[in-house]
Chain A
Amino acid sequence: MPSVLFYLFAAITLLFGVGVVVARNPVASALSLVCSFTGLAALFISLDAYFIGTLQILVYAGAVMVLFLFIIMLLDIKAAEGRQTNYATAVGGLLLAVLFTVQIAMVLGDFKEGNKTLADQTLNLGAAASKTSLNTIKDELAEGTLPDAKLMGFTLFDKYPFQLQVVGLLLLAGTVGVVVLSKRDRGGKEEVS
């Protein structure tokens, strides 16, 4: 990917990320997060992770953020009721973010492996094709395209089939939990004590 596009999408991701934190209105925060996640999806795609990039759009920017917006609208949460910003926590938060970034930057300064560019690490699809057992993947690799979703699916079912089942169990437990936590009984009063 040309450097310009990387900087563009990185800027979108980070600036809208800041927007989530500073926006007073929760709806604005949520929409900022959608934009930030879209930029992030572009970064995923620039890393040849097409499937993850698509998921990021579909699941995060799509489903999850719609859920957030829906709840914000449903509860009719007002913007931060004109309350004064607490400067002590704001400074604390900023300091924490800066410290963490400096820490990461220090590690990166020492991390020589990280100086490789995508051009240094080109995909070797021919080598990948010779190692694959599944014909549909092999053919596409031999043609010189990266069958990202197929390779992803193959790894999931070949290496982590059991974890995939456990995630299913997790989603079930989550669904049951949501029902338990939000059902209302007919004819009863909802009083919290």
Chain B
Amino acid sequence: MMSSFSIEIFLAVVGVLLIALDAFATELNRKVVPWAAIGATGLALILMLTRSADIPAWITPFYATDSLAVFYKVFALVTTLIVLIIALEGDFITAYFSSSEGVKTRIGEFYALPLIVCAGMMWMASAKDLVALFVPLELVTVSFYVLVAFTRRSAMSLEAGVKYLILGALSTGVLVFGIAWVYGATGSLSFEGIAAAASKPTTNAMALMLGAALLLAGLGFKVGAAPFQIWIPDVYQGAPTPVTAFLSVGSKAAGFVVLTRAVQAFTGDGSQIATQVGNALLSAAALTILLGSLPAIFQTNVKRLMAYSSISHAGFMVLALACGATGTVAFYMGTYLPATLLGFLLLVVLRTQGVGDELKDLAGLSKRSPLLAFALAVAFASMAGLPLTAGFMGKLLVFMAAISKAHYGVVALAVVGAAAGFYYYFRPILTAYSPVEGESTKLQVSPVARVTIAVLIVGVVAVGVYPKLLQSVLK
């Protein structure tokens, strides 16, 4: 029995040890690093599910262990585990693009850094004050700068790295400026203190508004909410696919946990700025859904399509947040995880078989590999929100939350976005099942990938058919 805090330290320590191991590696333990990383994450997940509830007393001032934190910790571990498996699948592609021509290089860092990132995301989920929020957030961001630009021999990866770097640093600046003003207006750095000060009439509402706006904008960058979503398509398309998967699921969800805590602090009982923050979130949600869904219609690259799709998903989550339905935000994240990771895993498996990311490359997939075509159909159907898949329940709960608060205008826009989704998500499925002329080679799928695909498909369908499964975890 370990506490969640010890588990996070375990992960970080294993990450550091793997970096050291990789630095002194011989041919033999080069292969050990990825499996050690996967094993450590799996072990951490098991420990997390059987954790003890007590945490050391000295960390309680900044470390929360409420249900949101615990849910997200498990979420982060599952995401990291699957991302590492995706990375292992695409190992030789990453190795090829991160070393010089004709040289075999070690890429142990590509497996060790995700462990450190995972620990950072778990600490973010527990943050009770703005310092405890800022430091792990930056740990995650800086590690992601490295991971995005990791395949440095690919011009696209470098370009994505530079764009992520500039916009990430910009968002850090805005976030710190926002934190400074929130602190200045409330005199407190803890979420509890901020919530208490926000309801006091002596607190200057204008100053608090400025701080809250900048802080939410800084976090909006991290989750990719409009109008700060511009970096997402380029960075997601250019980054190595395992990293894209990690960014779009792990990093985005961590951002949402933090955003949830910040919004709860700003919109607590009697808060002076509750209505303004609520309205800002609502307009951001509407804009995000539209700016994610409409450009997605015109995409011809599947990776870029998934980037736009992740923007529109972020819009739905912001909408749930604007309605104060924090449980729904977490539930939506839970439904978003299996479908999105399944999609990226398929892209990597296809890439290792020489199939590209373009939509036209998918033609005839159902003949070449029925399993992959079916998995693709499940993943995109869930993202679109087809009944009996996880995505349907997620969208349904968001709509219910919005309707209960009578935000009909935004609901109408969200319906348009969801309807557009049915068009652009079904295009890849139809392409995969379209008949093609001539002979086509069968695609090989490794046993590890087969098992992971099967697990993720079961996850999508199980939550879609029996949503209580996920809801019971949230309790």
Contact = CB atoms under 8 A, between A and B. Distances in A.
B210 interface: yes
A116 interface: no
A189 B142 contact: no
B146 A110 contact: no
B116 A173 contact: yes
B154 interface: yes
A161 B204 CA distance: 32
Interface string A103-125: 11011001111000000000000
Given A174-B142, A176-B19, A163 B101 contact: no
B101 A169 contact: no
Interface residues on A, range: 20 to 34
Nearest to A190: B100
B131 A160 contact: yes
A68 to B, nearest CB: 13
A186 B98 CA distance: 14
Nearest to B123: A166
B37 to A, nearest CB: 14
Contact of B101 (A173, A186, A191): A191
A75 interface: no
A181 B99 CA distance: 10
B103 A186 contact: yes
Interface stretch (B133-141, B278-286, B295-303, B305-313): B133-141
Given A177-B143, A181-B146, A190-B153, A163 B102 contact: no
B105 to A, nearest CB: 6
Contacts of B143: 173, 177
B103 A188 contact: yes
Q: Is the interface of B mostly helix, strand, loop or mixed?
A: helix
Nearest to B206: A110
Contacts of A192: 152-155, 158
Interface residues on B, range: 35 or more
A82 interface: no
Nearest to A189: B101
B87 to A, nearest CB: 14
Contacts of A185: 99-100, 103, 105
B243 interface: no
A159 interface: yes
A167 interface: yes
B193 interface: no
Interface in B124-160: 131-132, 135-136, 138-139, 142-143, 145-146, 149-150, 152-155, 158
A159 B61 CA distance: 8
Interface in A72-122: 103-104, 106-107, 110-113
Interface in B152-181: 152-155, 158
A173 B155 CA distance: 23
B113 interface: yes
A160 B131 CA distance: 8
A162 B131 CA distance: 11
A126 B102 CA distance: 70
A176 B207 contact: no
Given A113-B204, A180-B109, A166 B136 contact: yes
11 contacts: A103-B210, A107-B207, A113-B204, A162-B62, A167-B135, A169-B139, A173-B143, A176-B19, A181-B149, A184-B100, A193-B155
Interface of B: 12, 16, 19, 58-59, 61-63, 97-103, 105, 109, 112-113, 116, 119-120, 123, 131-132, 135-136, 138-139, 142-143, 145-146, 149-150, 152-155, 158, 204, 206-207, 209-210
Given A113-B204, A161-B58, A192-B153, 4 more contacts: A166-B120, A169-B12, A173-B146, A188-B101
